[in-house]
Structure 1
Amino acid sequence: MVAILASLRSPEGKVLVKGFYDGVRPLSDEERADIARVPFDEKEFFAGVGVSEGFGEPGYSTLERLWARPTLEINGIWGGFQGEGTKTVLPAEAHAKITCRLVPDQEPEQVLDAIEAHIRAHTPPGVTVRITKFPGSAPAYLMSRDHPILAKAAQALREVYGQEAVYTRTGGTLPVAAMVKSILKTDFIFFSFGDPDNQVHAPNEFFRLESLDKGARSYVRLINSLA
């Protein structure tokens, strides 16, 4: 199991699955400049997630890796004796859970098939592998940087917050965005008004009333600008 998992990525952080990066849309110079303009304290970020320094695909900044590059991660691994002390018995089986965060133009099923092919090709002799594909995958969604509604959204935010908006990407999971694009053949825009310290998805998650108020006013301005 350890050998199979280690084969998925190079020591430098690049995913080694053949075909994994097929279709990945490269960042334009304008997009990289947008990301570089986002206020970001890298040392503070690393301290917040409990690491001393960053690691990942070479050639990209921390924010570019977070927002615009695909990932393949091991979410869990277990096997063998789990109790206190030791037992000198070789485990008969081991398990791991793997997920991926995809980016625009990657096809989920194609990526799943590529990972399965890689695992089977790197399975040691005498070992049997069983792969379970869980439902729930979705393609990534990205609106064109020059879409006119983005300028209107930026104007609405500027009026509410009193400062210029910055353009970013994010690694969130919102399958409905790609569904709207696929079924209705139209782009999809939404605002997010959470703050970095809101502890999203944590037991102590919270949301400020001030943010709720600004969110409502921003949507009103955006809708009025489209009327």
Structure 2
Amino acid sequence: HALVRLLDSMRHPDGRIAVEGFYDEVMELTPEERAQLAAIPFDEEAYKRELGVEALFGEPGYTPLERTTVRPTLEINGIWGGFQGEGTKTVLPSQAHAKISCRLVPHQTPGRVLESIRQHIAQHTPPGVRVEVHTHEHGTPAYLIPADHPGLQAARDVLKALYGVEPLYTRMGGSVPVCSMFLAHLGVYTVTFAFGLHDERTHSPNEFFRLSSFKRAQEAYGCLLERLAQG
């Protein structure tokens, strides 16, 4: 019960994260950025069917696409404790465990977010309960390349030539830590250029990649290198 209460305290009923200071460094989207995301085709009903849910839930004031791409998150990855075998056993567990993670957005500092979570846990731990916090990684700052960066514009030109339509700008909820490292230590931006599609189940046991995308990627990378060489 204590662990469930503690985890529940981290989020308001409407979906907004309740950890004090969590949003302090978050930069609000500009009208232009929201317009770019709104231009991306998104079928909410199909998305709900894919997830197997009847309704979508999350931070108020943002669309489902914005919540999954440009807003920070705090989620429970796993929770366990006590007897879990077959049948019943009426013994109260002396320990319970949970794993949480956060997706950060540009300008958020991993260390500062971690410290805010530690403080929240200390302030909301029920009397008589001892909590231990273990961190598995130090975290990685979110990476964002300016929309007008020459490298990104080169990628845009290549994609437009290959597909015959104007590319749309979006962000991704995943992370590639080396991009932030290159920017922090070398002062250079990284253009990510990939051709995996939404339904190819990236990182899952049944991940796959279409041969048609592979062939198009071969052509695209050659064109991109040529385009970058032109300056």
Please tell me the TM-score bracket, short chain as reference: over 0.9
| AA at the equivalent of 1:114 | S
In structure 2, the partner of 1:160 is 162
4+ residue segments displaced more than 4 Å: none
In structure 2, the partner of 1:218 is 220
How much does 1:135 deviate?
1.6
In 1: Cα distance, 2:165 partner to 2:138 partner? 38
Note the residue ranges of structure 1 that are not aligned, 5 or more in a row: none
- Is 1:172 aligned to 2:184, yes or no? no
How much does 1:219 deviate?
2.0
- How well do the aligned residues superpose, as a CA RMSD in angstroms? 1.2
In structure 2, the partner of 1:141 is 143
Whether contact under 8 Å (2:110, 2:138) holds in the other structure is no
In 2: Cα distance, 1:190 partner to 1:101 partner? 19
In 1: Cα distance, 2:162 partner to 2:62 partner? 33
In 1: Cα distance, 2:76 partner to 2:101 partner? 7
Note the residue ranges of structure 2 that are not aligned, 5 or more in a row: none
In 1: Cα distance, 2:183 partner to 2:172 partner? 18
In 2: Cα distance, 1:196 partner to 1:111 partner? 29
In structure 1, the partner of 2:113 is 111
In 1: Cα distance, 2:46 partner to 2:35 partner? 21
- Is 1:150 aligned to 2:158, yes or no? no
- Residues 1:139 and 1:164: Cα distance change in structure 2 (over 3 Å): same
In 2: Cα distance, 1:136 partner to 1:161 partner? 40
In 2: Cα distance, 1:7 partner to 1:59 partner? 21
- Quote the sequence identity (%): 52
Structure 2 SS opposite 1:32: helix
In 1: Cα distance, 2:211 partner to 2:88 partner? 53
Structure 2 SS opposite 1:98: strand
Structure 2 SS opposite 1:59: coil
In 2: Cα distance, 1:22 partner to 1:50 partner? 34
In 1: Cα distance, 2:204 partner to 2:9 partner? 32
Whether contact under 8 Å (2:79, 2:96) holds in the other structure is yes
How much does 1:92 deviate?
0.8
| AA at the equivalent of 2:139 | S
In structure 2, the partner of 1:182 is 184
How much does 1:136 deviate?
5.1
1:188-203 residue pairs with structure 2 within 5 A?
A: 188-203=190-205
Normalised by the length of structure 2, the TM-score is 0.95
In structure 1, the partner of 2:40 is 38
| AA at the equivalent of 2:173 | G
| AA at the equivalent of 1:192 | A
1:15-164 residue pairs with structure 2 within 5 A?
A: 15-135=17-137, 137-164=139-166
In 2: Cα distance, 1:166 partner to 1:137 partner? 29
Structure 1 SS opposite 2:198: coil
Q: Which one is further off, 141-150 or 7-16?
A: 141-150
Render the CA deviation track for 1:1-26: whole Å, top value 9, x for unaligned: 11100000000000011111121121
Render the CA deviation track for 1:150-175: whole Å, top value 9, x for unaligned: 22211100111121110000011200
